[in-house]
Structure 1
Amino acid sequence: MFSNYYYSFAILLVVSTIQVQTENVTITIPLNKTTDLLNKELYGEYVNLNASSTLQVGFTDVSKSLAFIIFQVHSHLYNITLYNNTLTRSSSVYGTNIGIYSAVQSTLDKFFIYNQNMVNLKLFISIHGYGDKDPIPGGCNMEFQPPISPSMHMSYNNDYVLIEAASARDSADLACTSINDVIVVFYLMYLPERSFDSDTYFEGIQNMMSLDNISENGEIIPQTSWRMRRMLSAYPGTGAIYVAVAYNALNHSAYSVYVPTYTYACSPLDESGCELLDDVLSQFLCASLLFFGLFICYFGHRFFKTEMFLIGSITGVVITYILISLISELDRPALLGAAILSGLCFGAIWLLFWWFYGIPVFTVLLSTLNLGFLFAALLYFGMPGGLSALQTDFNFWTLFILIMSLTSLILLSMTFLSNILCCAILGAYATVYPIDYYIGSNLKYIIINTIRRAVVPKFNNAVLLPPFEWMDVIMTVTWLGLAISGFLFQHYQNRGRPPFPPPPRSVRPSMPDITYGTTGQRGYANVTHRPTSAHESYNENTPLLL
């Protein structure tokens, strides 16, 4: 009995730090904490809320300098409901990262947190207080509930993440006639890759709540064609925290912070979790790339005809995948199956060109174009967002093809070395590509983002901002190491050999044997002796060029 009495007394005790776990509880929080310019958080603590239970929050000792507060609650994976005074559509919000605005009057609103799930939840409650000069986040809301909506709104699919927020209102603009007087800046911070635990999530949320932490940890998301909306390329499995800060255009010391939100661009609670390759065909193809990549990286030029088939097949798969995606809607296994069949046909056709014609410059052209494609895709991958000129598809693809073509033309000036270089770099990337999938890094999106730009509607508005964490560093170093070692190994392996093997069934007109004839050192052919004395005459059968 004594323990029960002590427990009840502890719940009712007014403290600034709480951690309770019960069914229906009322707590009171003092709001007299002193804040500073860069951190306006009045309160921030964890609570444990049982399944199907409600937590009521009241306030005491409210500071007279406060004009309004933003009451926010954060849950990791499960949605919760937050409302004030009465549970109505206009006074409640539902989600994992939610907040409500409340003006500071003679009697401050009470807030209720309802856990409608069948599991106990760990929640983080934070209260931020602002003065009468600070803009109201979501004060000019015309889309969401409640009427003043300080929460960020997030949605995602397989290709992109969409972040939205309601326009902020200047404290002196009651009619929202001058929303441009408030500047809203969006920020992003990535969580560690493939880390789905709650401790990492809560630490990330806390690191994006106050202005000083946001400035230190966050990266600005450039504005594209939308003022209060940002589209970002999705990197499933890598968590990201998003937040917006509203600044007064004339006085940046007057600001307010929206309620931060997050996403993994996938759902760890789903049956498939955050597995990117959830069908057998995709997994098989991804694993096959590892062996094909190693072969091309170290033996591509030595087995030239096999290289021609593989390079042609991969090119055909990429082109067919893009074309089919543009003209029809198929699920991924069917789309990959059609792309593979087409790619095999393209690879066979490309091999036949060498089989019958054997023109080195023409044959190496495809390899150099592939390397140019990878180089242009890499530039796009690392390009800063917000470049309005490149949001136009014509400008983007013109520049992309120009970079791709210039890379190819530069490399074609030295066909033998360029083919080895292409094999080394492309083979190394194909090798790290499946490893990248399995360890959760993001180098695979060098190609995926380019394909998204080609086939995903409105992806021209997407900001890429790819994460570059320690696993990405490891994969980049591995890629460079494989490419350098592959180039050196193939160059050493092919010394003293003809630059290119002869075509097995050449249909070209017969030429003097100066390219594929018997070779001496360094691959130079033996040539016919030129008459050098008066006793050696010229006739119509004497070659003009020797």
Structure 2
Amino acid sequence: MARQNSYLLFLVVVCSWDVLNGDILELESVGPSVITLAANKTLQAWTKGSFDGLSFIKIQFHSQFSNVSLSSDSTFNYSTTMSGSSVGMIQVLKLHQQNVTWYIRVEGTENVTAIYYLEYYFPDDPLPGGCNQVFNLEVDPSIILLSKLKRTDVWFQWASLAVPIGQDPINCELQKVRDSLTYDIYTYFLSARDQSLEEFIHATKKMLTTNDIIKYGTKVTSVSDGPNSKSLVAITSEPNQGVVYAVIVTRKDTGRQAAYVTTVTYSCIHKQGECSSQLTAVEIIVPIILGFCGLFLMALGHNYFKTTQCFFGYIFTSLLFYIVISTDPDQEETVKLAVSLSLGVVGGLLWLLFWWYYQFSTLSVFLVGLCAGYLMSSVLFFTPFGNIVWWMTEMNYSLAFLCGILIYTVALLAYYRLLCITSCSLVGSFQFLMTFGIPLRSSFRSIFLNSIYHQTMADYLDVTVIFPCNTQDIVLFTLWPILVVVSIFWQFYRERPRERYISIRPILPVVDDDVEQDNSGDSLSSQNETARLLPSRQHGYGAVPRRSNNNLVT
């Protein structure tokens, strides 16, 4: 950094702007700057000074929604031009070169506010995009974002090693080039539901230099150039959530680092009105319903056991059929939701009827435990544990997720009351907090949605799970365990004077023949030895025998 600072005295960015009256606007900058680009005009930017000791220069422009074109040629040829909302270019310096010129124009009819930043590098630095084989520029430091449903693919080209001015580029096929470079992908989330220009400028400025990227960004993963490696990383994304993506390449032999051109996206198309931050009717109605259901389970779930059985039967059936129906990718989302929710009502009533007729204590709480176990397993795979490469195959992920469900359920199955109350507290408090998580579009709701996406989307298994953690998210994540503990203690307090568990109606008659011993206690009486194994009088189906004075009475 000391050598870089010494060159700040010699480098000046001068921008000339052609306007209708022929005036020229000149700007000088040594760091990120905000300018306004005029529509239907071409901005000419150049650097001048002494380039001795340098290797290449990188320039980048960023606008919020509008596309701009950046070219090293005034004719904007395809092989020398980059277009988009985040564009950048590297100019490898030549001997005796005194200045470098770029041309920028707006692809639209309105003026655009943009951020531009100039950075220069030395021969011992890595060269981002120096081994480009796909993109249109010879040396392309761009990051291409391929936005899909609930995921964004971050694609870049492998880097090379910088060389002194006048030397030939290093062959990218050399093994030492591949082995000496590592790549780190970083993200920075904008404030939730904040699509203002001020927030965009504030976030972008934090992710332009390598030091700022490491300081403010969140490291997602690392990759290296190998026989089976790809310069493409899939990351979770949500529409309307602004994210800044950055890639840093590190040269192992010198320890020097260089950043690719930073890219910003909202995972939506602004011109088509997809980036609206307004709440929909579903985001208002569903949280209200979940809030009432959550409060009921938290406070009275175990007390109103029949209602709880019907409710959890509804959850289990709806979730099961939604996952099954989603195996058909051609089905519309509204159809899948309508069918699964309708079948959930049937499933809840059938499960209540099953419990009312048989009253199996184990099965009655087993289903309740499965629903809570699903939520606990979702929490586990929402953490960095879920990003382990082992889970990126369908078989491994399914088995691991199922084990997470069963571990919780089986561990508490012997304690019926504890399992039922704990499950009601877990599910109820989560539903109650979703009353706030859905309207705020908090990452808290992604605990459940992340599992649904994994089980219903074929291209979601290899996605690296990462979500923003704002103040509202921290509050919701903190309140959840607190509400769970409070709910558990409250329901145990209410259940103190009650029976240990529900009374069970036996299906078959209970026969208990007394066995008598003689005074010496050595042998059974002869009367009992010759007694019938079955009573002569048969009990009716469902009759409950009772005792009176040590005798069996029906």
Q: Is TM more than 0.5 here?
A: yes
* Contact 1:18–1:47 under 8 Å retained in 2: no
* Letter in structure 1 aligned against 2:172: C
Match of residue 72 from structure 2: 84
RMSD after superposition: 2.9
Match of residue 208 from structure 2: 209
SS in structure 1 at match of 2:308: helix
Pick one of 77, 89, 105 that aligns with 1:100.
89
SS in structure 1 at match of 2:247: strand
Match of residue 317 from structure 1: 318
* Contact 2:62–2:86 under 8 Å retained in 1: yes
Q: Distance in 1 between matches of 2:24 and 2:262?
A: 25
* Contact 1:312–1:346 under 8 Å retained in 2: yes
Match of residue 431 from structure 1: 432
Pick one of 249, 264, 267 that aligns with 2:266.
264
* Contact 1:315–1:370 under 8 Å retained in 2: yes
* Contact 1:102–1:108 under 8 Å retained in 2: no
Q: Distance in 1 between matches of 2:338 and 2:418?
A: 34
Question: Is the radius of gyration larger for structure 1 or structure 2?
Answer: 2
Q: Distance in 2 between matches of 1:288 and 1:119?
A: 45
Match of residue 218 from structure 2: 219
SS in structure 1 at match of 2:414: helix
Question: Per-residue CA shift, 1:242-267, capped at 9, x if unaligned?
Answer: 111122232212x3210111223334
Match of residue 143 from structure 2: 152
1:484 is displaced (CA, Å) by 2.5
SS in structure 2 at match of 1:312: helix
SS in structure 2 at match of 1:459: coil
Question: Per-residue CA shift, 1:19-64, capped at 9, x if unaligned?
Answer: 9896787556679xxxxxxxxxx54211112333321112222432
Q: Distance in 2 between matches of 1:372 and 1:19?
A: 64
Question: Per-residue CA shift, 1:238-293, capped at 9, x if unaligned?
Answer: 3221111122232212x321011122333455435345975x56754443222212
Cα pair distance change 1:276/1:443, threshold 3 Å: farther
Match of residue 250 from structure 1: 253
* Contact 1:137–1:168 under 8 Å retained in 2: yes
Pick one of 170, 173, 182 that aligns with 1:174.
170
Question: Identity percentage over the alignment?
Answer: 21
SS in structure 1 at match of 2:134: coil
Unaligned runs of 5+ in 2: 1-10, 164-168, 513-545
Cα pair distance change 1:44/1:282, threshold 3 Å: closer
1:158 is displaced (CA, Å) by 2.8
Alignment of 1:37-52 (within 5 A): 42-52=30-40
Q: Distance in 1 between matches of 2:215 and 2:419?
A: 44
Match of residue 387 from structure 1: 388
Match of residue 196 from structure 1: 195
Alignment of 1:24-423 (within 5 A): 42-85=30-73, 86-105=75-94, 106-171=97-162, 174-178=170-174, 179-180=177-178, 181-223=180-222, 226-253=229-256, 255-267=257-269, 270-274=272-276, 278=280, 280=281, 284-384=285-385, 387-423=388-424
Cα pair distance change 1:165/1:84, threshold 3 Å: same
Cα pair distance change 1:142/1:27, threshold 3 Å: farther
Cα pair distance change 1:483/1:22, threshold 3 Å: farther
Q: Distance in 2 between matches of 1:476 and 1:162?
A: 28
* Contact 1:19–1:46 under 8 Å retained in 2: no
- TM-score, normalised to structure 2's length? 0.82
Cα pair distance change 1:244/1:272, threshold 3 Å: closer
Corresponding residue pairs, total? 496
* Letter in structure 2 aligned against 1:292: C
* Letter in structure 1 aligned against 2:76: L
Unaligned runs of 5+ in 1: 1-13, 32-41, 514-526, 532-538
* Contact 1:315–1:343 under 8 Å retained in 2: yes
Q: Distance in 1 between matches of 2:262 and 2:251?
A: 19
* Contact 2:298–2:429 under 8 Å retained in 1: yes
1:118 is displaced (CA, Å) by 2.6
